[in-house]
A and B are shown apart, each in its own frame.
Chain A
């Protein structure tokens, strides 16, 4: 598997930035399938899913089994453990399906309200960044074809 993507370019405070965002297919425990944009972040220890997305997908988690987390800015927030079935595919090319351990962000504010693919996701891939050309590639390392 070798998927090539373009970076999402965006102006922030008048400065053009690039974000490594990919669409991923999420399979809920209730049969719901959603295709959601997710940002790649090798600096995040876990894959992080916002609570409202986890709830729509009926992911299993125990909201009383809380884990403390902190952003790199030092802002604390609360998470709990879950798992998530993800399929990455592009057009009619091969796809990759895997179950990834994730954390549900129990706080429903704006902080970390995106789907963040962290190190538990990166373990399945080799990822090549080519930011001078606004591109990045995801190459499979291990996993299971869907």
Chain B
């Protein structure tokens, strides 16, 4: 994990993700969302098409409902 991931994580902490569907997978790279899909596999395929190395991307799941784990 490069130090860039820290930057992507900072973006994640500040960003609301209100505009993305609940339960979707989101890929963050270069402090922006570069892909969001319902299926993780589709996000990874999108990264390939954009020639973005998957290991340089922060992947997160959008969660808009309360958790009682």
CB within 8 Å of B: which residues of A?
A: 6, 8-13, 17, 21, 23, 25, 32-37, 39, 41, 43-44, 50, 52-53, 56, 71-73, 87, 89-92, 95, 110, 112-116
Q: Are A32 and B9 also in contact (CB < 8 A) when A12-B64, A52-B41, A113-B23 are? A: no
- A sample of 10 cross-chain residue pairs with beta-carbon separation below 8 angstroms, ordered by A number, consists of A11-B16, A33-B54, A34-B54, A34-B57, A35-B57, A37-B58, A39-B69, A95-B1, A112-B69, A114-B63
B69 touches A110 (CB 8 A): no
Task: Tell me the smallest distance from the CB of A46 to a CB of chain B, in Å.
Answer: 11
A10 nearest in chain B by CB position: B16
A37 touches B12 (CB 8 A): yes
A32: chain B residues within 8 A (beta carbon):
54
Convert B7-21 into 0s and 1s, putting 1 for each residue whose CB lies closer than 8 angstroms to a CB of A: 011001100100000
Q: Does B50 contact A (CB under 8 A)?
A: no
B59 touches A110 (CB 8 A): no
**Complex A-B, nearest 9 residue pairs according to Cβ-Cβ distance, in ascending order:** A37-B60, A33-B55, A25-B1, A91-B3, A41-B69, A36-B59, A52-B40, A110-B23, A72-B68
A91 nearest in chain B by CB position: B3
| CB contacts between A and B, total, < 8 Å | 79
CB within 8 Å of A: which residues of B?
A: 1, 3, 5-6, 8-9, 12-13, 16, 22-23, 39-41, 44, 54-61, 63-69
A35: chain B residues within 8 A (beta carbon):
1, 5, 8, 55-59
B58 touches A23 (CB 8 A): yes
- Distance, CA A44 to CA B54, complexed state (A): 28
B12: chain A residues within 8 A (beta carbon):
8, 21, 37
